[in-house]
Amino acid sequence: MMRGRDVYATAVRRRDGSVVVDRRPVPHFLEGWRIAKWPLIRGSFALVEALTLGIRSLQFSGNVALQDEAAAEAEKPAEPVAPKPARSRGRWLEALVVAAVGGVCYRFLAPKLVPRLTGLMPAGTTSSEALEAIRVLVVAAFALLVVVMLLWPRSKAEPSPQGLDDSALWLAMLPAFAIGIGLFVLLPSWLAGLARVEGGYGVAVLKNLLEGAIRLAVILGYIAAIGQMKQVRRVFQYHGAEHKVINALEIEGTADEEAASRNSPLHPRCGTAFLLLFIVLKVIVGCFFGWPVWYVRLALRLAMVPVVAALAFEATRFAGKHRNSPIVRAVSAPGLLLQRLTTREPEAPMIQVAMYALAAVAPEVSLPASWPAPAEFEPASPRT
């Protein structure tokens, strides 16, 4: 996916080797509002915009894959399929049952878990505070489950999806967001709070540093683990191809295949570098709040996410504009080093796909005359 000032494009290679390109206008949030261009404030809008473009690009690539899958299935000889008995499901009845189970857990199960979990709580946590924390987690978990059960799209016919709509994709991302916040934001703070060390502001700073180290270790371990998966490695190769093409254009002024192949797969404006900067800034900002009681601390960690993300956005934006400065290059070195986990050396066809996407948003980039013109995606017509 490549983003220009006013348009963005997503290029996908199909099974037959052709490349299909989807080109759309960038949905500028609060266009015309001055506040959206203010430093720090603009970072929040930019992050929401980037998330929206990423979701839409995933939706497009998923729809192309579904079309290819449907075409491949259509070419296979038909096989008799035994009819499945229809199942009538009452969503509200199921949700009420789940809510009732949650109420039972809240009333009877949570108090029984207090003796088992009190030892895992930070020092000084009373039984009533532990019970409150457990009940909050129970309510949040069952509320999320009820929402997913009510909103999750269910097919009334045989499962042969023609495409992914916005609501289904966003709903599918909700559990991922919840897991990400719990794993990368709340878990490190909770683990750091298990350190049985008390003291003044100096100890609070040390605990914030410990929390940042744990968060970095969790993120690095997660990325390294998923990087062993074959399909994820291919995604990382396409990530490297995007960087190579952009580096060729910004450094050499051309984005042909030869120039892209000799450029680095690392780029200072990458989201991976942003991630490392986010962790460092989160530690710095967290030190100003000390180390309050655990439930106040976890609430602060969530509240600080957009603030720290805006700071990291401004720093990443500055680094991208001054990438040739020796000071900026030295400061950006750790982020570029971290990118080696999320990028791989791409194959030539992957660089070509990145060039198709860049040519769709950059008028100064032209594809070789020998390459076939990109195809536009045609959504499958709904079944009647």
Taking only the tens place, the pLDDT of each residue in 221-245 is 988 888 889 989 999 999 999 999 9
User: How far apart, in whole angstroms, are the C-alpha atoms of residue 277 and residue 264?
Assistant: 21
Residue range 102-126: mean pLDDT, rounded = 73
Residue 6, phi then psi, degrees to nearest 5 = -120, -15
For the cut 90, the answer to whether the pLDDT of residue 89 exceeds it is: no
User: How far apart, in whole angstroms, are the C-alpha atoms of residue 182 and residue 189?
Assistant: 10
Provide the pLDDT for residue 88. Answer: 42
Confidence of residue 359 (pLDDT cuts 50, 70, 90): very high
For the cut 60, the answer to whether the pLDDT of residue 145 exceeds it is: yes
Residue range 94-109: mean pLDDT, rounded = 79
Encode pLDDT of 47-65 as tens digits: 778 878 888 888 888 888 8
Q: If residue 20 lies in a helix (H) or strand (E), which one and from where to where?
A: strand 19-25
In this structure, the strands spanning 375-376 and 19-25 are: parallel
Tokens representing 167 are 């609501």
The residue count of the chain comes to 384
DSSP bridge pairs for 24: 8
Tokens representing 321 are 């504009």
Provide the pLDDT for residue 80. Answer: 59
In the chain, what are the domain boundaries? Answer: 90-152
Provide the pLDDT for residue 345. Answer: 93
Residue range 57-81: mean pLDDT, rounded = 78
**What's at 369, amino acid-wise?**
A
For the cut 90, the answer to whether the pLDDT of residue 358 exceeds it is: yes
- Structural contact between residues 306 and 40, judged by C-beta atoms closer than 8 angstroms: no
Provide the pLDDT for residue 179. Answer: 80
In this structure, the strands spanning 19-25 and 7-13 are: antiparallel
Provide the pLDDT for residue 158. Answer: 38
Largest CA distance in the chain: 74
Tokens 């490695």 sit on residue: 233
Q: Give me the percent of the chain exceeding a pLDDT of 90.
A: 16
For the cut 90, the answer to whether the pLDDT of residue 354 exceeds it is: yes
For the cut 80, the answer to whether the pLDDT of residue 362 exceeds it is: yes
Provide the pLDDT for residue 20. Answer: 93
Confidence of residue 147 (pLDDT cuts 50, 70, 90): low
Least confident of 18-27, 220-229, 239-248, 312-321: 312-321
Nearest Cα neighbor of 277 from 339, 341, 322 is 339
In this structure, the strands spanning 2-3 and 19-25 are: unpaired
Which stretch, 156-170, 290-304, 331-345, 359-373, has highest mean pLDDT? 359-373
For the cut 80, the answer to whether the pLDDT of residue 156 exceeds it is: no
Nearest Cα neighbor of 104 from 142, 132, 152 is 142
In the sheet where 7-13 sits, what is the strand order? 2-3, 7-13, 19-25, 375-376
Tokens representing 147 are 């929402």
Which stretch, 143-157, 312-326, 364-378, has highest mean pLDDT? 364-378
Provide the pLDDT for residue 159. Answer: 39
Helix axes 91-104, 127-151, angle to 10 degrees: 170
Tokens representing 322 are 């001054």
User: How far apart, in whole angstroms, are the C-alpha atoms of residue 31 and residue 37?
Assistant: 9
Provide the pLDDT for residue 263. Answer: 93
Tokens representing 82 are 């035994």
DSSP bridge pairs for 9: 2, 23
Residue range 293-300: mean pLDDT, rounded = 82
Provide the pLDDT for residue 41. Answer: 75
pTM: 0.71
For the cut 60, the answer to whether the pLDDT of residue 128 exceeds it is: yes
- Structural contact between residues 208 and 283, judged by C-beta atoms closer than 8 angstroms: yes
**What's at 150, amino acid-wise?**
L
User: How far apart, in whole angstroms, are the C-alpha atoms of residue 23 and residue 62?
Assistant: 16
For the cut 50, the answer to whether the pLDDT of residue 162 exceeds it is: no
**What's at 373, amino acid-wise?**
A
**What's at 180, amino acid-wise?**
G
For the cut 60, the answer to whether the pLDDT of residue 133 exceeds it is: yes
User: How far apart, in whole angstroms, are the C-alpha atoms of residue 171 and residue 375?
Assistant: 29
DSSP bridge pairs for 3: 8
Is 301 or 43 the better-scoring residue by pLDDT?
301
- Structural contact between residues 247 and 336, judged by C-beta atoms closer than 8 angstroms: no
Provide the pLDDT for residue 155. Answer: 43
Confidence of residue 75 (pLDDT cuts 50, 70, 90): confident
Tokens representing 283 are 């530690």
Residue 339, phi then psi, degrees to nearest 5 = -65, -20
**What's at 62, amino acid-wise?**
G
User: How far apart, in whole angstroms, are the C-alpha atoms of residue 237 and residue 231?
Assistant: 10
Confidence of residue 110 (pLDDT cuts 50, 70, 90): confident
DSSP bridge pairs for 20: 12, 375
For the cut 80, the answer to whether the pLDDT of residue 208 exceeds it is: yes
